[in-house]
Structure 1
Amino acid sequence: MIKVTIKQTSDQKIAAFTVEGHANFDKYGSDIVCAGVSAVTFGSLNAVEALTHVVPEIEQGGEGGYLHWQVPNRLPEETEDKVQLLLQGMVVSLQTIEQSYSDYIKITFKK
């Protein structure tokens, strides 16, 4: 199962997120859940970089399926607002996948 953990600040902003595990929906190369989660998360991080010029510092692991990104501190307010909107869009997309494939992906929110 893919486990997504969204760490939020006290005012509901996304401070960090972690994605770990494998969906095991289908064999490697045919797993649409894993492919969808990867496309959404990496597409969102690429959008953050391209549209806000915030370069994501990604922590990534190999076979265990691990991705972690923390929102940088002290971003200008306008930049932070854009980053938050893009990350909130990522969460909505991941929740859409979770609705259809809840046996293979679980999203948890933490303060």
Structure 2
Amino acid sequence: MIHVHFKQTSDGKISSFKMKGHADFAERGQDIVCAGASAVSFGAINAIMELTKVKPMIKQSKGGFLECRVPDHLSIEVDDKVQLLLQGMVISLQTIERDYGKYINITFG
């Protein structure tokens, strides 16, 4: 199962997320849950970097682990854009979770 955990600040903003595990929906190369979750998460990170020029702190490994941390002290305007992109990511992942909940779990804290 893919586990995605979004860490939020006291005012509800996403400060980071971790994604780990494998969906095991299908064989490697055929797993649409894994492919969808990967495309959504990497697409969001790429959009943040390209559209806001913010470079998040990223850790990843071949074992199905991705961590992304938003830098502190962004301007309000830039932070609003980053948050909008991250919220779009959340909605996309929740859509996958709604249809494939046995293979992906999303938590907040």
TM-score normalised to the size of structure 2? 0.98
1:99 equivalent to 2:75? Answer no
Partner of 2:15: 15
CA distance in 2, matches of 1:96, 1:10: 25
CA distance in 1, matches of 2:87, 2:50: 17
Q: Deviations over 1:52-75 (max 9, x none)?
A: 000122100112x00001110000
Partner of 1:45: 45
CA distance in 1, matches of 2:56, 2:41: 12
Q: Deviations over 1:34-81 (max 9, x none)?
A: 000000000000000010000122100112x00001110000110000
Structure 2 unaligned segments of length 5 or more: list them. none
TM-score normalised to the size of structure 1? 0.96
Identity of aligned residues (%): 59
For residue 5 of structure 1, what is the amino acid of its counterpart?
A: H
Structure 1 unaligned segments of length 5 or more: list them. none
